[in-house]
Amino acid sequence: VTVRCAPGATVYLGSGVNLTVNNGGRIVANGTASAPIRFTRVPGTSNNWGGITVNGSTGGPSPVSEFRNVHFEFNNSTAIHAQSGGEVVLEGLSFGNTSVQYLSLDSSSFLVSECVFPSAAAGSYFELVHGSGGIKTGGRGIFVRNFFGVANSISGDYNDVLDFTGGLRPGPII
């Protein structure tokens, strides 16, 4: 199954709702600079939605989910979490909630370009982009032309804007 979002679309998600893409499915949300796509909460409500998770297969190729020129706001957990072999192309993303992590890329394949990761809000302690488990075998881990704000620190913890663990040669590394 492929879910497509047209340029200029706004996707409203209810309170606490998470959007999960399982292996075999994908999201194609390709906005444009003049018609970005927006993921946000339902109008007239004050409760935030959850986040988006993209699952895949660590043993072979997975469909690639694409998010281009997309703005995320009012999410209450990581905006995009690719895991378990998920494959994503993330280009031109922006984030309105500066109190939660923007991306988590665990054992996945990804291309992240032209994104703006704002500084964490005062009193919010998280790594702007986090990953664990290395990069999916046969996958890629690429960051190109992104802007990273400042992370906040608690006694030296969470002071990385980009923090990855795992991934050893001869396998793929960032």
Q: What confidence score (pLDDT) does residue 156 get?
A: 67
Average pLDDT in the 88-115 region?
97
Q: What confidence score (pLDDT) does residue 87 get?
A: 97
- Dihedral over alpha carbons 120, 161, 82, 3 (to 10 degrees): 50
Q: What confidence score (pLDDT) does residue 125 get?
A: 87
106, pLDDT greater than 90? yes
Q: What confidence score (pLDDT) does residue 92 get?
A: 98
Please choose, from the candidates 40, 57, 164, the residue with its C-alpha nearest in 3D space to the C-alpha of residue 94. 40
pLDDT digits (tens, 9 = 90+) for 137-164: 889 999 999 999 998 877 667 678 999 9
DSSP strands (E only) in the chain: 2-5, 10-13, 19-21, 26-30, 37-41, 52-55, 64-68, 70-72, 80-83, 87-91, 94-95, 103-105, 109-113, 116-117, 129-131, 141-144, 147-148, 162-164
pTM for this structure? 0.95
Q: What confidence score (pLDDT) does residue 86 get?
A: 96
pLDDT digits (tens, 9 = 90+) for 33-78: 999 999 999 999 999 999 999 999 877 789 999 999 999 999 999 9
171, pLDDT greater than 80? no
